[in-house]
């Protein structure tokens, strides 16, 4: 027994004499950290690293089967899902791992920001961290393209259309991005290269630097209100703190990281098991146009912003906003590298996090039900509520048919069914007069196309008569206030004021 | 840093030859060789960069003149007058592994007689596939709700212009279009946003600011379209 142990030590020493890696590694693992940094708030960075390792592993396993060719990528994913034992689970782990990674990286960023950890001397750690966030999002976008389905195909189209708006070099950039004149094989190969070689390589290198700097500069001490960062005294103070309250990172602090990482891995596995892999949705055949493409979760907010930007602002915002946002994040530690770290003394920082979180959340939730998109089949499938048809004249019912046939409901809801692009029509007659409705239908306006060419006079009359019955039962009809004035101010021979038309 | 710097050249030479400075001479020779090796590798790197950059930028440097070519969409009889139909064609430039992504749809509108309009499937906003609704005479985009009238002009929503249009001609009773490249604002916005009849991108790339019209009927029609 003793000789076995001795032999093991001998083998270890043989390697250590030649490699010399264990001693510095152990030293790094046992380095002293201020005891107050052993906190559940400090576990997100290590969790992100663990997920990265998971993504690399599952990614390599998927690459054993995946065929990065436009002709076969989609069917190789179907094959993975249905013909390879546990292929679906590996795909699901990789997909959910991606979502968890983005979430954990964002939480890590928020925590670092609120704890003032980006201040001196950790400015570069923050800057590299911002790059890591962008690379993580780059992995998510390129990964979504590799799931070469309808969403990926048209997502590439959206990407190319955005890139094409770059002034002067837009066309050349689209050619570079797609590698050919259309979205096809070369485009997929390019995104495969980015997703599998270029971005992960950069990501791993920068994670190495990021970790190296954490070791070299020490983990950020727990912020205390009133303890200001001063470039002259900070390093000295930090060393004093470490000497006074120091504990070894391994094992005294690392167990929290390990427990949290295990919990995250379990959560990813649970999501993968219960919810399964993402897609692939329909095959990437551009001739199948019955599709409503949507990006993955992390990019839904951008999809929503693109719907709400007015056409004239779209291109400037698309290219100026990212420069400002990313530039601001990169410059943050250089601009405010000293001073207060604690969140309770940095109300603007807290407000910023709250506003950004609410904004991203609001746009994301909007993109979940895309109120700006017409519902392409609402006119074929949704019934008109019975109350809107009961006791109506034949002309008014004819108008209901016109409304249905002319696909008005793709954008307008009645009885809660239909599109949300335009206002719901349930009470339209209570706030629009007959003249206003006719004008709006024929000439359009606001966000509505003109239907003058799509409706003949009989259809227009019927449609308007139907719309004038839509007052949600008993709301008073809209009245043109100036009408009365116009009639009474006419010469005396004018007829007496006509009664308000009653369409019931 | 070199203490012999202020000395005259002859003094310097004698100093270099002296035994005390022999080590320095060896070092300066190695420093020179080191710099020379850096220079050599820099030169080799620059030469190496030429093919790499050429390969990498190839798709962007390629003259786009050969990307659009005339494609037959079908005999005129396939397109009833007054109707708009979805037609698929095989892109003229594909790779053998493109599969179904090489098939491109387009909307063909036969106004009357030989009067046609052929629209790209891609919304002018962000490239999603627009769908034709014959009853409301509109093209609607499922992504962000862009809408176009039957002549391709912008009706509402986020697009900043009308649908992209392929140049077309009629040869021996068949409708031909000039296509080959995904239409985007970069390849199709030739400083004339009001027009929907646009030349193929090849011609635009060569003469960016010429009036983008080929045939006479295109000219007469475009002037009557709404802006």
**Domain that residue B19 falls in:** 9-61
Distance, in angstroms, between A119 CA and closest chain B CA? 38
| CATH label of the domain that carries residue B94 | 2.102.10.10
Angle between helices A44-63 and A254-275 (to 10 degrees): 40
B68 and B55 both lie in a single domain: no
pLDDT tops 60 at residue A88: yes
Candidates B108, B122, B136: best to mutate against A (most CBs of A within 10 A) is B136
Quick one: which of A73, A64, A63, A93 has its CA closest to A153? Answer: A73
B51 and B95 both lie in a single domain: no
Model confidence pTM above 0.80: yes
B13 and B106 both lie in a single domain: no
pLDDT tops 50 at residue B213: no
pLDDT tops 70 at residue B212: no
Supply the pLDDT for residue A159.
Answer: 94
Contacts of B145 in chain A (CB under 8 A): 307, 372-374, 411, 421, 447
B31 and B124 both lie in a single domain: no
The answer to which of A218-232, B33-47, B61-75 has the lowest mean pLDDT is B61-75
Q: Quick one: tokens of A327?
A: 């530039």
| Helix (H), strand (E), coil (C) string for A321-346 | HHHHHHHHHHHHHHHCCCECCCHHHC
Q: Is residue B2 part of a domain?
A: no
For range A225-236, the mean pLDDT = 93
The number of distinct structural domains making up chain B is: 2
- Residue A196 is given by DSSP the state I
B133 and B70 both lie in a single domain: yes
Cα angle B100-B78-B109, degrees, rounded to a multiple of 5: 85
The answer for B 7-26 residues in CB contact with A (under 8 A) is none
B13 and B124 both lie in a single domain: no
- Residues B129, A71: C-beta atoms closer than 8 Å: no
Of B45, B61, B77, the last residue of a domain is B61
B46 and B88 both lie in a single domain: no
Supply the pLDDT for residue B10.
Answer: 53
What whole-number percentage of chain A has pLDDT above 90?
82
- B149 → chain A, closest CA residue: A449
Q: Is residue B76 part of a domain?
A: yes
- B67 → chain A, closest CA residue: A181
Supply the pLDDT for residue A381.
Answer: 78
Q: Is residue B21 part of a domain?
A: yes
Q: Residue A274: left if φ>0, alpha if ψ -120 to 50, beta else—which one?
A: alpha
Residue A185 makes CB contacts below 8 A (sequence gap 6+) with A69, A70, A71, B94, B95, B97, B98, B99, B101
CATH topology of domain A378-488: Cytochrome Bc1 Complex; Chain D, domain 2 (1.10.760)
Query: In whole numbers, what is the pLDDT of chain A averaged over residues?
Result: 92
Cβ neighbours, 10 Å, residue B19: 6
For range A177-196, the mean pLDDT = 95
Q: How far apart are the first and last CA of chain A?
A: 101
B47 and B94 both lie in a single domain: no
Say if residues A366 and A359 touch (Cβ distance below 8 Å).
no
Q: Is residue B105 part of a domain?
A: yes
- Residues A160, B127: C-beta atoms closer than 8 Å: yes
- In chain A, CATH 1.10.760.10 covers 378-488
At A500, the pLDDT band (50, 70, 90 cuts) reads: low
Task: Inform me whether the C-beta atom of residue B69 falls under 8 Å from chain A C-beta atoms.
Answer: no
A33 exposure class (CB count in 10 Å sphere: 0-12, 13-18, 19+):
buried
pLDDT tops 80 at residue A350: yes
d(CA B120, CA A137): 31
- Residues B103, A374: C-beta atoms closer than 8 Å: no
- In chain A, CATH 1.20.810.10 covers 33-369
d(CA A313, CA A335): 29
Could you tell me which residue, B15 or A133, shows the higher pLDDT?
A133
For range B198-216, the mean pLDDT = 38
Distance, in angstroms, between B170 CA and closest chain A CA? 24
Backbone angles phi, psi at B103, to 5 degrees: -90, 125
What whole-number percentage of chain B has pLDDT above 70?
71
Complex ipTM value: 0.88
Of B61, B80, B99, the last residue of a domain is B61
B173 and B124 both lie in a single domain: yes
At A31, the pLDDT band (50, 70, 90 cuts) reads: very high
At B215, the pLDDT band (50, 70, 90 cuts) reads: very low
CATH number of the domain located at residue range(s) A33-369 in this protein: 1.20.810.10
B166 and B71 both lie in a single domain: yes
Query: In whole numbers, what is the pLDDT of chain B averaged over residues?
Result: 79
Instruction: Give per-residue pLDDT as tens, A444-468.
Output: 988 899 998 899 999 999 999 999 9
pLDDT tops 50 at residue B221: no
B133 and B157 both lie in a single domain: yes
At A32, the pLDDT band (50, 70, 90 cuts) reads: very high
d(CA B68, CA B70): 7
pLDDT tops 60 at residue B203: no
Instruction: Give per-residue pLDDT as tens, A147-182.
Output: 999 999 999 999 999 999 999 899 899 999 999 899
For range A225-232, the mean pLDDT = 92
Cα→Cα distances A416→A256, A435, B134, Å: 50, 26, 25
B78 and B38 both lie in a single domain: no
pLDDT tops 80 at residue A435: yes
Cis previous bond, B163, omega within 30: no
- Residues A158, B143: C-beta atoms closer than 8 Å: yes
pLDDT tops 90 at residue B5: no
Supply the pLDDT for residue A116.
Answer: 95
| Dihedral over Cα of A153, A158, A160, A161: its sign | positive
Supply the pLDDT for residue B200.
Answer: 40
Q: Is residue B1 part of a domain?
A: no
Closest residue to A291, CB basis, from B129, B138, B181: B129
Instruction: Give per-residue pLDDT as tens, B80-99.
Output: 999 999 999 999 989 999 99
């Amino acid at each position: 027994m003793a000789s076995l142990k001795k032999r093991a030590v001998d083998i270890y020493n043989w390697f250590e004499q030649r490699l010399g890696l264990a001693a510095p590694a152990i030293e790094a693992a046992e380095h002293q950290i201020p005891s107050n940094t052993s906190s559940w708030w400090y576990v997100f960075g290590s969790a992100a690293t663990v997920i990265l390792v998971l993504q690399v592993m599952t990614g390599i396993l998927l690459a054993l089967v995946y065929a990065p060719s436009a002709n076969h990528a989609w069917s190789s994913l179907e094959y993975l899902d249905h013909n390879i034992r546990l292929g679906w689970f590996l795909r699901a782990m990789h997909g959910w791992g991606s979502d968890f990674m983005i979430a954990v990286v964002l939480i890590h960023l928020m925590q670092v920001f609120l704890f003032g950890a980006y201040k001196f001397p950790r400015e570069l750690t923050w800057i590299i961290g911002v790059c890591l966030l962008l690379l993580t999002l780059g992995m998510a976008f390129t990964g979504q393209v590799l799931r070469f389905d309808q969403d990926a195909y048209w997502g590439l189209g959206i990407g190319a259309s955005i890139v094409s708006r770059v002034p002067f070099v837009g066309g050349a950039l689209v050619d570079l991005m797609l590698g050919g004149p259309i979205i096809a094989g070369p485009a997929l190969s390019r995104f495969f290269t980015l997703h599998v070689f270029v971005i992960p390589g950069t990501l791993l290198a920068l994670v190495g630097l990021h970790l190296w700097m954490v070791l070299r500069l020490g983990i950020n001490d727990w912020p205390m209100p009133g303890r200001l960062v001063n470039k002259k005294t900070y390093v000295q103070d930090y060393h004093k703190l470490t000497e006074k309250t120091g504990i070894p990172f391994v094992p005294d602090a690392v167990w929290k990281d390990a427990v949290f990482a295990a919990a995250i891995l379990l959560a990813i596995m649970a999501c993968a098991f219960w919810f399964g892999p993402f897609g692939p949705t329909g095959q990437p055949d551009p001739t199948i146009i019955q599709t409503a493409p949507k990006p993955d979760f992390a990019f839904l907010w951008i999809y929503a912003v693109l719907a709400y930007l007015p056409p004239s602002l779209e291109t400037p915002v698309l290219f100026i906003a990212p420069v400002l946002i990313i530039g601001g994040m990169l410059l943050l530690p250089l601009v405010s590298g000293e001073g207060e770290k604690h969140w309770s003394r940095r109300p603007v920082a807290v407000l910023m996090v709250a506003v950004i979180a609410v904004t991203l959340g609001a746009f994301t939730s909007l993109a979940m039900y895309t109120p700006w998109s017409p519902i392409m089949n609402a006119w074929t499938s949704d019934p008109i509520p019975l109350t809107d048809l009961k006791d109506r004249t034949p002309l008014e019912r004819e108008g209901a048919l016109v409304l249905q046939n002319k696909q008005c409901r793709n954008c307008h809801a009645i009885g809660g069914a239909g599109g949300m692009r335009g206002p719901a029509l349930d009470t339209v007659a209570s706030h629009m007069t007959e003249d206003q409705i006719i004008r709006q239908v024929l000439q359009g306006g606001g966000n509505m196309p003109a239907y003058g060419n799509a409706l003949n006079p009989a259809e227009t009359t019927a449609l308007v008569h139907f719309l004038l019955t839509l007052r949600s039962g008993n709301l008073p009809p809209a009245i043109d206030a100036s009408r009365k004035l116009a009639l009474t101010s006419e010469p005396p021979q004018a007829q007496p004021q006509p009664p308000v038309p009653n369409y019931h | 840093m070199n203490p012999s710097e202020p000395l005259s050249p002859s003094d310097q030479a004698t100093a270099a030859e002296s035994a005390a400075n022999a080590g320095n001479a060896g070092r300066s020779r190695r420093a020179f060789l080191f710099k020379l090796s850096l220079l050599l590798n820099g030169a080799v790197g620059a030469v190496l960069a030429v093919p790499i950059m050429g390969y990498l930028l190839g798709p962007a440097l390629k003259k786009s003149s050969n990307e659009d070519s005339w494609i037959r969409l079908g005999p005129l009889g396939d397109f009833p007058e007054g109707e708009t139909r979805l037609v698929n064609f095989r892109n003229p430039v594909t790779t053998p592994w493109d599969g179904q992504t090489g098939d491109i749809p387009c909307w063909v509108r036969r106004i009357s007689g030989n009067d046609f309009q052929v629209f790209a499937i891609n919304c002018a906003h962000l490239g999603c596939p627009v769908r034709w609704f014959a009853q409301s005479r509109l093209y609607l985009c499922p992504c962000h709700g862009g809408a176009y009238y039957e002549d391709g002009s912008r009706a509402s929503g986020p697009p900043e212009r009308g649908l992209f249009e392929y140049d077309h001609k009629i040869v021996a009773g068949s409708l031909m279009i000039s296509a080959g490249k995904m239409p985007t604002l970069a390849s199709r916005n030739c400083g004339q946003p009001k027009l929907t009849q646009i030349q193929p991108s090849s011609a635009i790339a060569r003469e960016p600011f010429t009036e983008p019209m080929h045939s006479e009927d295109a000219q007469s029609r475009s002037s009557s379209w709404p802006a």
